[in-house]
A and B are shown apart, each in its own frame.
Chain A
Amino acid sequence: MGARNRREPCRRCALPLSRSRFLQGSQDNVIQAFAFYLFATIVIASGALTIVSRNPVHSVLWLILAFFNAAGLMLLIGAEFIAMLLVIVYVGAVAVLFLFVVMMLDIDFAELRAGFTRYLPFGLLIAVVLLCEMIFAVGVWNFADIGPDTRMGTIDPDMPNIEAIGRALYDRYLLVFEGAGIVLLVAMVGAIVLTHRERGGVRPQNISKQIKRRPEDATRNTQPEVGKGVEL
């Protein structure tokens, strides 16, 4: 289960494979730092452009860019599964939904943005609350002088990210996982209840009935005499 053949040295390969040498030396940290600042800057800029854009479709596209760079950030800390999942689920599913809605609804953005100053104090309040929560979440660790090793569980450096998540999720967090399933079920049922409308008077195709039809029921061989017709 989970054979890991990432670091095989290559002798006569056409494409470079063994790159563990790359993790030595200061060059690699420079690349990582550069990548981090690049991704982080683009995430923040895209996020800002999302709310500032006048065109709602442009907003969604900036959001997609933000998701991509967030996935890049995930890669930098080694959470490759989360990174791929961000792209598959967020960019591939959620943003598509956003795009569908925004494209079809023809939102009058100017009207929406007119209420900006009215809601500004409330928005600022929520932003401050979020900021405090984030400061508390991190500051508590720092205040109690808890080192990074005790903050998170021990990471097995040889285990791929997917396996590590799997072992945690289906072992310790089993009930939370089941709860997530219930949330998904409620979301599905809710979406259907809200959007489904009965369309009367439609005759859908009954595929099984069509397939069950036998030639004997559909056709009939006759031998009409010359000059005589066939009774249908």
Chain B
Amino acid sequence: MTEFFQSLGMSFEWAWGVATIAGILLIALPLMLAVAMIIYADRKIWAAIALRKGPNVVGPFGLLQSFADGLKVFLQETIIPSAANRGLFLIAPIITFTVALIAWAVIPFGEDMVLANINVGLLYVLAASSLGVYGIVIAGWASNSKYPFYSALRGAAQMVSYEVSIGFVLLSVVMFAGSFNMQTIITAQQGHVFGFINGFAFNPLLFPMAVVFFISALAETARAPFDLTEAESELVAGYQTEYSSMSFALYWLGEYANVILMCALNAVLFWGGWLPPVDWAPLYVVPGIFWLFLKILIFFFIFSWVKATVPRYRYDQLMRLGWKVFLPLSLFWVVLVSGYLMLTRYGGVL
């Protein structure tokens, strides 16, 4: 793209700058559109599982429902409680949404299509999801109200507990791939199993970690069955209780953007990213971005399916799962994978 702008007569720096900003907008704006559409898809999927119809009034097949909701929320009054800390109250949803957006800078959409091909791409994504905790904690505290505060603390503790097991799962993948660079991880999956299947999850040694990652992603994004911070019967809206209008909507946008990010991460780490499922030459004619979107949609369908199907976890059950099941399991798996790779790659005992 830089060359395109350069051909218009700009100098290299200007062309690069315009190309980068165009690239950023090409990621951010379709992402927000995708979030709107995926909220609609979520509701339609739950409806179908519950033998209902879901939104079908606004626009053809109800496709404009999310935009109608967005417009309604936009025109609402932003109520800032009198006892709340104004600055922090408004900054919290900004943090949530910003962090959900910037993590997309390192996701590869195709062979040469990544905004920032940094060597520590995976660490960057981990850092971005670590920052999501702040949106919640600051919201709860700035609301200066009991229920949001406790809900925020519990939500933060939940996010933090599952980040550890996500870290260990990422390690297993990185050991196979040999680098933290997202593109390298994807290209390492080419023909990984039996020489023609693209994807780490088809490796029996890594499939359990794919499952652990999926469930940890559910808990990290506070989706069902781990969504007790939103359980209306318990804590009203949890840390979002005092929020209205766009600041409230930003939390939902941020949460769904995080969900899509986790689906994309799942696809990139375990299922081949933008590679086609099988290493068959004609499949490469289809642009990689199509395969990535297909995988994201499949995983989002499973996310949605899980929410419509299983009952909610209680908080102590959730923490037990994170600390007593996933942490020892993923820790043990790191030992297993590293031992296996030492034997096969490094070779022999001493």
Contacts and interface: CB of A to CB of B under 8 A. Distances in A.
Instruction: Consider the complex of A and B and state whether they touch directly, i.e. have CB atoms less than 8 Å apart.
Output: yes
A58 B120 CA distance: 31
A15 B23 contact: yes
Interface in A82-101: 84-85, 87-88, 91-93, 96, 99-100
B141 A103 contact: yes
B124 A84 contact: yes
Contact of A162 (B2, B120, B320): B120
A6 B16 contact: no
Given A4-B179, A161-B119, A14 B131 contact: no
Interface in A126-174: 160-162
Contacts of A161: 119-120
Contact of B179 (A3, A57, A99): A3
A207 B324 CA distance: 12
A167 B52 CA distance: 58
A3 B184 contact: yes
Given A87-B127, A96-B160, A205-B317, A15 B16 contact: no
B93 to A, nearest CB: 16
Nearest to B345: A1
B119 to A, nearest CB: 5
A80 B119 contact: yes
Contacts of A84: 120, 123-124, 126-127
B119 A15 contact: no
Interface in B84-113: 88, 109-113
Nearest to B156: A96
B118 to A, nearest CB: 7
A160 B119 CA distance: 7
Nearest to B16: A16
A81 interface: yes
Main secondary structure of the interface of B (DSSP, over half): helix
Nearest to A14: B113
B120 A88 contact: no
Contact of A14 (B1, B130, B133, B184): B1
Nearest to B177: A3
A146 B180 CA distance: 35
B117 interface: yes
B240 interface: no
B119 A92 contact: no
Interface in A1-30: 1-6, 8, 10-17, 19, 21-22, 27
A96 B129 CA distance: 13
B77 interface: no
Interface in B160-198: 160, 163, 178-181, 183-184, 187-188
Interface residues of B, number: 48
Interface centre among A85, A96, A99 (most CB of B within 10 A): A96
A15 B108 CA distance: 10
Contacts of A81: 120, 123
Contact of A27 (B13, B19, B110, B149): B13
A27 B11 CA distance: 12
Contact of A5 (B1, B2, B181, B316): B181
A87 B131 contact: yes
B141 A162 contact: no
B137 interface: yes
B131 A100 contact: no
Main secondary structure of the interface of A (DSSP, over half): helix
Contacts of B316: 204-205
A13 B108 CA distance: 12
B235 interface: no
B108 to A, nearest CB: 10
Contacts of A61: 88
Contacts of A91: 127, 130-131
A81 B111 CA distance: 24
B266 to A, nearest CB: 20
A207 B180 CA distance: 37
B161 to A, nearest CB: 12
B26 interface: yes
Contacts of A10: 112
A15 B114 contact: yes
B12 interface: yes
Given A17-B117, A19-B16, A207-B320, A92 B127 contact: yes
Interface in A44-67: 57, 61, 64
A12 B112 CA distance: 8
A14 B26 contact: yes
B20 interface: yes
Interface in B16-32: 16, 19-20, 23, 26
Interface string B181-221: 10110011000000000000000000000000000000000
B130 A93 contact: yes
Contact of A96 (B124, B137, B188): B137
A85 to B, nearest CB: 8
Given A96-B137, A100-B153, A162-B180, 5 more contacts: A3-B188, A11-B112, A17-B117, A84-B127, A99-B134
Which 10 interchain pairs have the tightest Cβ spacing? A92-B130, A13-B112, A84-B123, A87-B127, A16-B2, A15-B23, A1-B178, A10-B112, A160-B119, A16-B19
